[in-house]
Structure 1
Amino acid sequence: MATEEEPTVDVKLFVDKEKNKVLFAESGKEFVDVLFGFLTLPLGTVVRLLGKQSQVGCLDEIYKSVEELSNDFFRTEACKAMLLRPISTAAKQCCDLKVRVEDTKHREVYVCGHTSCCAKADGSFSSVPGAACKCGCLKFIVTDDLQVAPASTSLMLSLFKKFGVEDPSRLEQRMIQLSSVEMTNLLKRSLTSKQPLTGHCFDVAISNDVSALEMVLESLHPKQGNDAEHELDNVRIRVLRTNSSSLLYAEVNDDFVELLFGFLTVPLGSIIKTYGSWPSIGCIGNLYSSIDGSAKGCIREPCQCLLLSPKLGGSDKGKGYVKQGPQNFMVTDNLHVLPLSLENTIQVVCEAKIQSNDLAEKEFSLAKSQLTELLKAALVTPKALSSVLLPPKNKKKLPHLSSGLY
């Protein structure tokens, strides 16, 4: 629980006691500000905030690789630092909140523009330009799967109908206060669960749904023609695999490693924009769709653009992070990067308990579409290389999933 000195945001939960499920929550803009701020966080920042235990595909291993590699493998010491603590340009506008999840300093805030506003006396601010001040008392409804909309009678009735609430008096109301630690926990749940509010309320253990992950893996095709596609030529890699078609590691050059490490600098909102949804099984994609949907009228257009297309700030564009040269690397199936050496290769083979006569080397030429699939797989499975290079023979089509609030 938060201490008395620690800032918190108030959220009222409406709970179905019989099902032990949060149906929806009501809050002021402070809570919604923090939720929308999740979208501006680069993937590397997400991993760092979650203590390298994000449970999102291979992200933790990519981040650990950057940490463990010597500074000699990076173009400058600052390049390594930027990968470990990437900053989104939208952070200046969207992350100086009452409860701060990200700890980067130097941010801009917005105060109410009305000269008669009484809230200015206590220093009230908002991360979202144009958001209603507390003098206007704008309230939001947030569903368990993080769909956001301004409170209204029609929305209340539609939610009663959606959840089969015949007697609203039977719903239990719980007021909770969320600190930065608890909001960080909610961030983790939003990446890996469809019910983060219920999970927080009833302290449900965070675990990945294996069957749901398998369904996602069956479709690893990104949207075509968007501006986030990596402009790279085909990349050639050598893979050490077993005769039974399991993959141990890939031998790659600095360009491939640059692609993996650069992935840590991409904000969550840009990932959703690229693939059309959150590739893994969480529900943070609902926050993204709410910005241009059910909550659109509550966010001024300039800030809306920052949330829908957040970009990296502080990078050294055009020069890359990894030092170029003849040095090769090995990348394991879970995308952990190591310098290519006899010691490291033997260690991987020994850990896999494979006999040398059961090993075979194969060369692959990866097109841009496959590289993009690999990055998507990195968000879904700890076996990203295998899922792209050794795909299942019979892929099933994913069912159409509706993300509407009503």
Structure 2
Amino acid sequence: MATRAEPKVEVKVFVDEENSRVVFAESGREFVDVLFGFLTLPLGTIVRLLGKEAQAGCLDELYKSVEGLPTRLFRTEACKMMLLSPINAAAKQCCQLKVRVDDTKHREVYVCADTSCCAHAEGAFSSVRGAVCKCGKAMFQLAGERLENDGSTRAAGAGDSDVGVFVKEDVKFIVTDDFHVAPASTSLMLSILEKFEVQDLSCLEQRTLQLSSDKMISLLKRSLTSKNPLTGHYFDLPIAPDDSVTYMLPENLHPQHENDDDHTLNNVKIKVLQTKDNSSVLYAEAGADFVDLLLGLLSIPLGIHSEKVWEVHIKRMCGQSLQ
């Protein structure tokens, strides 16, 4: 019986061999769809996919803490599971990607099995099996797939091979080494060549890469720890932690919106023990509100962070000083 070939996405890279760098890449929608799919991944999923070696700040230790805490300390077992395997709100779309990096299944909907439950009239449900209903009982009853707004369950773009998952049209894109994505154009290409002081395209080597799921996961890891993930992948450079660039991916793939500055963060109080010269914090005592906020980071999608929010949540909440 023939083995089914592993799906791969194709991307053409333009390489400056003399300076050992990828200047830019050219691709169709399939590669860009997977890149944009990175933004939908909850942070806890990213840590799990990278074998708890994401090296992005202290998220690895946060994830391991949830794993190590006894279930009795959580409100329900489902609360622990939703942090270790958080639901991707775009799981249905990500299942349609040619190359999948997330093994999360298309989410199912659970409701309270008690037909007399007071929450039935409100349409209460959860995508996490065993979550607590408003009536206090666990929701284990599978309600099945929820209908789309038009009453159908047809996958987006089904039957239309010219429409991508996140990208509408099958156009060519230019992806820079730091994952800035833009429609391909002569003016953009010339500006990139000028930036890197390249005389013309003939000075660059063109290589076509076939990227499997494992290689895309490697690119995801590099994007969290490096400003040059394409160069690192092409030249197989070692992946070194660098928490100063952990916000690079969402910043470049998800430009800041006008209302990003309108975010307000509620304050929580913690008690810290620090050295007399204020050079370091030894430990902190905190209540459930702070711990809930801290553990909740694992459920937040990568793309929700602008540079400002990413710094505040990841660096300050994990006890690292901001520059």
Band the TM-score falls in, shorter-chain normalisation: 0.7 to 0.9
Pairing 1:304-319 to 2, within 5 Å after superposition: none
Instruction: Give the deviation of 1:253 after TM superposition.
Output: 1.5
Cα 1:241/1:378, change in 2 over 3 Å: closer
Instruction: Give the deviation of 1:237 after TM superposition.
Output: 2.2
Work out whether residues 157 and 163 of structure 2, in 8 Å CA contact, stay in contact via their aligned partners in 1.
yes
Which residue, 142, 146, 166 being the options, matches 1:128?
166
Which residue, 158, 171, 174 being the options, matches 1:111?
158
Query: Which residue is 2:315 aligned to?
Result: 377
Distance 2:92 2:316 in 1: 28
Pairing 1:233-312 to 2, within 5 Å after superposition: 234-245=267-278, 246-272=280-306, 275=308, 279=311
Distance 1:270 1:16 in 2: 34
Cα 1:224/1:10, change in 2 over 3 Å: closer
Question: 1:24-63 CA deviation, whole Å, 9 max, x = no partner?
Answer: 1111111000000111111111111111111111111111
Query: Which residue is 1:203 aligned to?
Result: 236
Please state whether the residue corresponding to 1:173 is helix, strand or coil.
strand
Instruction: Give the deviation of 1:252 after TM superposition.
Output: 1.3
Name segments (4+ residues, structure 1) moved above 6 Å: none
TM (normalized to structure 2)?
0.73
Please state whether the residue corresponding to 1:155 is helix, strand or coil.
helix
Pairing 1:326-345 to 2, within 5 Å after superposition: none
Work out whether residues 24 and 144 of structure 1, in 8 Å CA contact, stay in contact via their aligned partners in 2.
yes
1:172 and 2:172 matched: no
Instruction: Give the deviation of 1:207 after TM superposition.
Output: 1.5
How many residue pairs match? The answer is 260
Q: Which amino acid aligns with 1:130?
A: K
Instruction: Give the deviation of 1:95 after TM superposition.
Output: 4.8
Pairing 1:380-399 to 2, within 5 Å after superposition: 384-385=318-319, 387=321
Query: Which residue is 2:262 aligned to?
Result: 225
What is the percentage of aligned positions where both structures have the same residue?
58
Query: Which residue is 1:305 aligned to?
Result: none
Query: Which residue is 1:157 aligned to?
Result: 190
Query: Which residue is 2:225 aligned to?
Result: 192
Q: Which amino acid aligns with 2:50?
A: L
Greater Cα offset, 147-156 or 63-72: 147-156
Cα 1:163/1:42, change in 2 over 3 Å: same
Instruction: Give the deviation of 1:209 after TM superposition.
Output: 4.4
Work out whether residues 29 and 167 of structure 2, in 8 Å CA contact, stay in contact via their aligned partners in 1.
no
Distance 2:320 2:26 in 1: 43
Greater Cα offset, 172-181 or 153-162: 153-162
Q: Which amino acid aligns with 2:304?
A: S
* Aligned-residue CA RMSD (Å): 2.6
Instruction: Give the deviation of 1:170 after TM superposition.
Output: 2.2
Distance 1:75 1:69 in 2: 12
For structure 2, which runs of at least 5 residues remain unmatched after alignment? 108-154, 249-259
1:35 and 2:35 matched: yes
Distance 1:165 1:271 in 2: 34
TM (normalized to structure 1)?
0.59
1:82 and 2:16 matched: no
Instruction: Give the deviation of 1:156 after TM superposition.
Output: 2.2
